[in-house]
Amino acid sequence: MGTDVDIRDELIATVRRFVEKDVLPVASALEHADEYPAAIVATMAELGLFGVTIPEAYGGLGLDLLTYIGVIEELAAGWMSLSGIVNTHVMAANLLKMQGTEDQKQRWLPRLATAEIRGCLSLSEPDAGTDTSALKCRAVRDGDEYVITGTKTWVTNGQRAGLIALAARTDEGITCFMVEKEPGVDHAGGITVSKNIPKLGYKGLETVEMAYDGHRVPAECVLGGEAGLGRGQHFILSALEVGRINIAARSVGVGRAAFEAALQYAQQRETFGKPIAQHQAIQLKLADMATKLEAARLLTQSAARKKDADERCDVEAGMAKLFASEAAFEIATDAMRIHGGVGYTTELPIERYYRDAPLMIIGEGTNEIQRIVIARGLLARHPLE
């Protein structure tokens, strides 16, 4: 039997081969067409990627977060949108794994592990994004059911998802509900997928607005059962730590793809009788790009290790997300500059990296918020005596 490191390396190598064979040849065409990659997603399900962190007892691979971020880096290096298709699903599964009752785990985790149903996270609202305390979506108890009313936005995979981790306000406070939905249906019960939000990048998967108009769910859908009432904000903020580590891993993937493209092009393109890689101006850029990329990867791995060890990692996840996302955007920008005019065309994926990178600066809490989270965490850890 192989060690955990062997299993991790084998899976990551498998995903890299899959990306090289099935993703890279078609990614730009699918992205420009904003076309959902159904065949690619089916292969991802066959590889077990939707169950990567779900325990083996529930049909998943049961692997650690360090393995997961390695998988995410490979997917993002091929096409960043694929990492988004997996991530919200994994966040919903992790919420169940960490906070669900045993009945809830038995009910949903095996189906999530095989991607029979896909999961998503529904937190943001038109007037409540980063400020989770301002949520207006309401769930009112009515006997053995809750009646949910409100509007959610920025729901990645919302249309195709069959299970939604939904934050709503109850009498006890913010509560997380696991809401079942028929995948691919825009209107069912009291749920309406009302708007697909067009985006600069991050194409090929849906980001939607969803309206809940008196939608009824059984009381047993409260995450964690009765003990979970009013604890949804705590549950979801903990899940967002994994989301931020995921964003950092995506950033490493996009940054790596942009850097490798620039490194290769700089040795092929000649000006003034020699490859531009021999010009000092280009060498300085390549050195900075490589250094930022390595630092971003190490910060991401450090945060993942702390989370795997069940240690507090709000500061570390914020640092990884902040640094890696800024690094990815800077690397993508420098890659375009090294490529010159051809980098600005749609013939090469450089322009895609440039459009995808800003999402990581904004997603899972803007970097302005990350700086505040990091600072508050540091002050709480190091108070004056």
90-125 pLDDT tens trace = 999 999 999 999 999 999 999 999 999 999 999 999
Cα 92–chain centre separation: 11
H helix intervals, 205-349:
232-268, 280-308, 314-339
Cα separation, 55 vs 369, whole angstroms: 32
Ordered by where they begin, the domains of the chain are: 4-113 (1.10.540.10), 119-230 (2.40.110.10), 234-381 (1.20.140.10)
In the predicted structure, residue 131 carries a pLDDT above the cut 90: no
In the predicted structure, residue 2 carries a pLDDT above the cut 60: no
**For position 130, what pLDDT does the model report?**
66
71 within 8 A of 12, measured Cβ to Cβ:
yes
| One-letter identity of residue 58 | Y
Cα 202–chain centre separation: 11
Mean pLDDT of 65-86: 97
Q: What is the 3-state secondary structure (H, E, C) of 10-47?
A: HHHHHHHHHHHHHHCCCHHHHHHHCCCCHHHHHHHHHC
pLDDT single digits (tens) 22-57:
999 999 999 999 999 999 999 999 999 999 999 999
pLDDT single digits (tens) 325-375:
999 999 999 999 999 999 999 999 999 999 999 999 999 889 999 999 999
Cα separation, 293 vs 75, whole angstroms: 16
In the predicted structure, residue 161 carries a pLDDT above the cut 70: yes
The whole model's pTM is what?
A: 0.94
SS3 153: strand
Distances in Å between the Cα of 149 and the Cα atoms of 97, 136, 155, 166, 315 are 27, 9, 16, 11, 34
Mean pLDDT of 121-137: 83
- Nearest one of 325, 304, 330, 307 to 370, comparing CA atoms: 325
Give me the catalytic one of 20, 241, 364, 368.
Answer: 364
- The residue ranking higher by pLDDT, 324 or 129, is 324
pLDDT single digits (tens) 187-212:
888 999 987 899 999 999 999 999 99
**For position 3, what pLDDT does the model report?**
58
**For position 211, what pLDDT does the model report?**
94
Mean pLDDT of 274-289: 97
**For position 221, what pLDDT does the model report?**
97
58 within 8 A of 113, measured Cβ to Cβ:
yes
**For position 102, what pLDDT does the model report?**
97
Residue 316 annotated among the catalytic residues of the structure: no
Cα separation, 313 vs 148, whole angstroms: 33
CA angle 151, 153, 158 (to 5 degrees): 100
**For position 239, what pLDDT does the model report?**
84
Average pLDDT of the chain, as a whole number: 94
In the predicted structure, residue 1 carries a pLDDT above the cut 50: no
Six-digit token string for 10:
């084998």
**Which residue is associated with the tokens 């992205």?**
31
**For position 184, what pLDDT does the model report?**
84
